[in-house]
Structure 1
Amino acid sequence: MFNFESQLATWKKKDAKAQALIGLTLSDELLENVREVSTAKEMWQAIC
């Protein structure tokens, strides 16, 4: 059965990991570009 809440929690956890990995590898200059975004995808788009 489809459990939206469970899938959302899993997605949020994976997204937080991705954001951390991206953030830890960026220079201070690039971090300024991603300070206001809320997802890993938005972070990636802001730096590319």
Structure 2
Amino acid sequence: MTLIMRALLITFALGAGLAGCNTMEGVGQDLEDAGEAIEQEASEA
């Protein structure tokens, strides 16, 4: 995969992710939820 394709895919993924949470509070909540999921998986291992 070329560098340009990778950059486009990353840009698209970031844009889609940011479109899902319209405010900074939403971004914070999403990050908190992701952290909790990681902690839960780590404790189960």
Higher helix share: 2
- TM-score, normalising length: structure 2: 0.46
**Structure with more contact order per residue of length (Cα contacts < 8 Å, sep ≥ 6):** 1
- TM-score, normalising length: structure 1: 0.44
Higher Rg of the two aligned structures: 2
